[in-house]
Structure 1
Amino acid sequence: MTDPCYSEMKQHKRECDWLYAVADANHGIPNKCACGQSIVVETSEQGRRYYVCKVFEDDGSHFRICCLQALEDEVNDLKKDARDKVQTRLKLQLKIQQMSKEIEELKKLVKGFS
């Protein structure tokens, strides 16, 4: 039989993991709310647009994200990805140049033994 404290601890860990996922998912354009419901676009009285959970309650576990902020997050992520890809490409090009030089040196060595 398992210790009741152990099962209680596991339940607390699951709840903390879920809350961490909710906080981490509050970035960019959401596809689904943390509760599993779909996201709709609503307009406030001031004319601002928001991504909102279909069953939104102000309890901290549902999404209500400003569209502009979500788009800004997405664009920043895309810029970062593009920078990372450029850096990776440059590193690979440098590595290819180094390997080409090594291949040429090895060809010269092989010709010397022939």
Structure 2
Amino acid sequence: MWSLGETASCESGPAWVFFADGYYAEVQLPDGAPAALRIWRDEGDAIAYTHAHMPFAGHERPMRVRHLTIEERSSERLVTRNYRGVARIFHRCPATSLKAPKGQSGH
């Protein structure tokens, strides 16, 4: 799980949850449901990804592959630049940062 922003914010705010099977979800910490799902692949100097916001309008068309160019990478921080040239900075958060939504006992 990685918070998104200039500074680490594992208590609240946008985050991306990367799964080992090549999917990831865009969530709002601490207890937001997924707002977008994507497919990702680490290409070494970039992260290739597709982008689809729920409820998946246009899902019958192939998704465009985009890239986040990696400018800095460490175990705790990832600095990237998107296809528009905008910096996207990720900070590692513990898995416990994402809570179950209110009224739901667990994930």
Q: Same fold (TM over 0.5)?
A: no
Larger radius of gyration: 1
User: What TM-score, normalized by structure 2, do the two folds share?
Assistant: 0.22
* Greater relative CO (CA pairs within 8 A, separation 6+): 2
More helix by share: 1
More strand by share: 2
User: What TM-score, normalized by structure 1, do the two folds share?
Assistant: 0.21
